[in-house]
Structure 1
Amino acid sequence: MSKLRAPASKLFNLLFATTFAKKTSCYGVQRLGSTAAPQPQVCIVGGGPAGFYTAQHLLKSHKGVQVDIFEKLPVPFGLVRFGVAPDHPEVKNVINTFTQTARQDRCGFYGNVTVGSDVTVEELKQAYHAVILSYGAEGSRSLGIPGEELSGVHSAKDFVGWYNGVPGNKDLKPDLSTETAVILGQGNVALDVARILLSPLELLKKTDITASSLEAIGGSRVRRVLIVGRRGPLQVACTIKELREMINLPGTKPALDPRDFQGLREAVQDVPRPRKRLTELLMKAALENAAGKDAEREWSLRFLRSPAHILPSPDRSRAAGIRLAVTRLEGSGERARAVLTGEVEEVECGLIVSSIGYQSLPIDPAVPFDLRQAIIPNRMGRVQQAPGVTPVSFAGWEKIDAVETARGMAVGKPREKLVDLRDMLKVASL
């Protein structure tokens, strides 16, 4: 303990004092004759599902470990509380297990603590034997197209946060006065957003959706939702459960075009069973739609379309539509790639929700971060480098040596050296 330097922040002084007391009590046992090692102290940054599952595993597997969970919000459970759709309460039952974990004597929860500002990662490293980063992806991927900054364009992360009660999204106030909404992306989150927009109010009243969101949806004029994807029916990213819920949503009909599914009945015979069942359900819904079904609201999956431009209103104050680039597929199955055809089409809409994925953000200058890939560089989960340092082991050098020797043999030389540091590091990390 004498090697630990006292942290600078006042908040951490309090937390450090608690940790110090636990460790000194453990040393006290040793002085009474115990040969046990000091009680391991582990810090988990992030109080979401991954953080709690990690804590649960550590507490179960290591009987002497003490786990502290740090969460920037005053409340725990992360995406279980703020990401799961309000009409999926069964998914939230895992909170009961997390609560049992948090109530254990060897587990501490510290909410309203922002790692990176209230306390630094370096301070945590001084006070704990291990620091586990489990803070999730807090950013949204950018569309990278003109007009995405206009009013009426929202990320799915913010929109979901709005109806689920994320404090930072409570003032979102999406304009629901439009008849048509467009959702970009065809994953489960996209279907969640579509379902919430189209659900009868009586169903939502029975959920934990926020009161302000419920009131706004009660006055919504949205009657048509287009769920847009760059690829085709065989590449949709949602699960069959989510799709079935959309198909069976009261007062709502799927408006699927049977032409989108031509030739797929034979193609699905050789795909994995989950994909086959999903595609067959889509085809069945498309055929039923062709037969006709009355409903005051509708949704559709628009395939082979990529967002190209958010179209502004005449006064350029808000979104009034979207230009979609028509694509075609190169390849097949999950590896199929969408390529532009040069054709475009425009859709009038006043609400656009981008559901193309979340993105991790840097947490602290002491933690390396790859801005291009939006990840913390790691090897089997272990952070690979200290700030600005990429250590290469001797085994890493031997990988470089093997590549250089092979390149040399190919041209009749004993060795063809790698001269670019990035190439060396890439080979060493393989």
Structure 2
Amino acid sequence: MRHFAVVGSGPAGFYTAEALAKAYGEQARIDILDRYPVPYGLIRFGVAPDHQSLKAVSKRYDKVAETAGVGFVGNVCVGADVSVDELLDLYDAVILAIGAPHDRKLGIPGEDLPGVIGSAEFVGWYNGHPDFADLDPPLDGTHAAVIGNGNVALDVARILSKTREEFHGSDIVGHALEALEGSAIKTITILGRRGPHQIAMTPKELGELGHLEAALPLVDLKDFPPHEADDALDPGQRKSVTILRDFNDIRANRPKSMIFDFFAKPLRIEGDGHAERLIVEKTELDEKGGARGTGETYDVPASLIVSCIGYSTPPIAGVPYDDRGGKFLNESGRIAERLYAVGWARRGPTGTIGTNRPDGYEVAEAIAAAMPATSSGDRAGGEGLKRLLSERGVKPTDFADWRRIEAAEEAAARTGSPREKMVRVEHWLRTLGW
């Protein structure tokens, strides 16, 4: 029998567990560990609440969790409750799938002012992440700025723009819904250092902006090269640029504006005790397609500034780390003997949810090659972990516990919502009678 520990219950973790279960069948026991009592990671805390079709991938993960030999071990923090070295003593291989939950810094003066928030914090706030339930973003001003030109920036801008009725069918948490309904924000500026041809926004997410009830997306056609330049783009990027151009043709009177400010490099954030404005430098493309400053600066008013410029994986004691890449040092997923990384912890914060599937399968294949299913080990695995956690007073949750929490959240749902998420660890545990 082989024993494997997958640390992290987001997409990368579940795809890896799925691949290991297929490779080993009844010859393996696979434990999926998570620091929270509930599973799904990015699916629960990162995917926008109004994108329920994306969240539906969790049904596939349910099937993995219900596979014989696969277990969920929640409410266990690797690095605090148990070390990686201890897991390696207990399991034949340990796979780190902890994602990249930390915001990257802007690196400009003023980013520590109140009102400047990272996207992990803001997204976590409206998605019910326990670390950010008390965030209380300032929504009393009329101007907000979103820094970044990827889908996360679109999510943030869209959530800030929607009416209460447009959240029907979503699982946005109640405290965020109430706060957003009372928001005074009327203008949202989305800033990108380069131009429309360099965005990392996908057509589906961009297209949604044209159908918002209360917000009008605005572009300046002077930022676009001639139409002929679109021919050099891949089909998806070309479609995205076309959607951006078409925003200029929307004729509607809506109370909110969503301004795409391209070729804009934030220099500093200013304000008297809190964020009030961004000082931005106009840029242009250099010979390699990067952004270079022109020396021309201007102000963008904003009392709320959300930075969406990427994420990093938190270091874990004893695990080699790439500070520049914000991920674990690895070679094709292998960190060290019997220690692996998958997903964003391996690659950095790139790709979609589906990108994690081939990534997890590749690492599982490497493990299976090093430890064939016909071989066996003598490590203690999950039973040994339970004994160790019990000695330390740590009480883990399992998948049956999650099902009880899920049922309670669904029973508490407001009309039109699939669930009302609990946003504190103690609420989850209280539901279990702990």
Decide: shared fold, TM above 0.5: yes
Aligned to 1:299: 258
- Paired residue for 1:6? none
Q: What is residue 375 of structure 1 aligned with on the other side?
A: 327
CA deviation digits over 1:28-73, x for unaligned, max 9? xxxxxxxxxxx11111011111000110111122112110011001
Match of 1:191, SS state, is helix
Hey, what does 2:429 align to over in structure 1? Answer: none
User: What is the CA-CA distance between 1:209 and the residue it aligns to?
Assistant: 0.6
> What secondary structure does 1:55 align onto?
helix
Distance 1:100 1:360 in 2: 27
Q: Is the 8 A contact 1:377 1:385 kept in 2?
A: no
- Please tell me whether residue 122 in structure 1 is matched to residue 122 in structure 2: no
Shift of 1:385: 7.7
Which amino acid letter does the alignment assign opposite residue 313 of structure 2?
S
Shift of 1:377: 1.2
Cα distance in 1 for partners of 2:178, 2:253 equals: 26
Q: 1:99 deviation in Å?
A: 1.0
Report the Cα distance in structure 2 between the residues aligned to 1:369 and 1:252, rounded to whole angstroms: 42
How far does residue 216 in structure 1 lie from its aligned partner after superposition? Answer: 0.3
Aligned match of 2:11:
49
**Residue identity matched to 2:10:** G
* 1:154-177 deviations in Å (ceiling 9; x for gaps): 001100000000000000000101
- Cα distance in 2 for partners of 1:373, 1:198 equals 33
Distance 1:385-1:346 versus aligned 2 partners, 3 A rule: farther
The 5 Å alignment of 1:166-245 reads: 166-245=129-208
- State the shift of 1:257 in Å: 1.3
Residue 160 of structure 1 corresponds to: 123
User: 1:354 and 2:317 equivalent?
Assistant: no
Counterparts of residues 251-270 of structure 1 (less than 5 Å): 251-261=214-224, 263-270=225-232
1 CA distance for matches of 2:135 and 2:54? 25
Partner-residue secondary structure (3-state), 1:60: helix
Contact 2:312–2:325 (Cα < 8 Å) also in 1: no
Tell me the SS of whatever aligns to 2:4: strand
Match of 1:43, SS? Answer: strand
Larger Cα Rg: Structure 1 or Structure 2? 1
Residue identity in the other structure for 1:41: H
Task: Kindly state the Cα deviation for residue 293 of structure 1 after the two structures are TM-superposed.
Answer: 2.4
Unaligned runs of 5+ in 2: 340-434
1:102 to 31, 47, 65: 65
Residues 90-142 of structure 1 show CA distances to partners (whole Å, capped at 9, x for unaligned) of 11111111111112220111101000110000110011111001111121110
Whole-angstrom distance in 1 between the partners of 2:264 and 2:183: 26
Are the aligned partners of 1:186 and 1:227 in contact in 2 as well (CA < 8 Å)? yes
Counterpart CA distance in 1 for 2:337 and 2:86 is: 17
CA shift at 1:371, angstroms? 2.2
Displacement of 1:386 in angstroms is 10
Name the counterpart of 2:426.
none
The aligned residue for residue 33 of structure 2 is: 70
Deviation at 1:205, TM superposition (A): 4.0
User: SS of 1:278's equivalent?
Assistant: helix
Q: 2:235 corresponds to which letter in structure 1?
A: R
Q: C-alpha displacement at 1:284, in angstroms?
A: 1.7
Given candidates 251, 262, 284, the residue that maps to 1:328 is: 284
CA RMSD in angstroms, aligned pairs only: 1.5
Say whether the 8 Å CA contact 1:47–1:77 is kept in structure 2.
Answer: yes
Number of matched residues?
A: 338
In structure 1, the residue corresponding to 2:276 is in which secondary structure? strand
What is the CA distance between 1:178 and its match in structure 2?
Answer: 1.0
SS in 2 for 1:319: coil
Q: Distance in 2 between matches of 1:99 and 1:166?
A: 20
Q: Indicate the residue corresponding to 2:247 in structure 1.
A: 285
- Contact kept, 8 Å, 2:145 with 2:189, in 1: the verdict is yes
User: 1:207, CA displacement in angstroms?
Assistant: 1.4
Preserved contact between residue 140 and residue 358 of structure 1 (Cα < 8 Å): yes
Deviation at 1:276, TM superposition (A): 1.4
Task: Write the letter of the residue equivalent to 1:343.
Answer: E
Structure 1 segments unaligned to the other structure (5+ residues):
1-38, 388-430
1:341 counterpart = 2:302: no
Q: Which residue of 2 aligns with 1:395?
A: none
1:377–1:384 Cα contact (<8 Å) kept: no
Which whole-Å CA distance do the structure 1 matches of 2:45 and 2:15 have between them?
A: 17
Alignment partners' CA distance in 1, 2:102 and 2:214? 34
Cα distance between partner residues in 2 of 1:102 and 1:108 = 6
> Does the Cα contact within 8 Å between 1:367 and 1:386 map onto a contact in 2?
no
Q: Distance in 2 between matches of 1:203 and 1:279?
A: 25
- Maintained 8 Å contact 2:33/2:74: yes
Superposed displacement of residue 358, structure 1: 0.5
- SS of 2:322's equivalent in the other structure is coil
CA distance in 2, matches of 1:282, 1:203: 22
Superposition deviation, residue 250 in structure 1: 1.6
For 2:4 and 2:264, how far apart are their aligned partners in 1?
47
- Cα distance in 1 for partners of 2:59, 2:168 equals 23
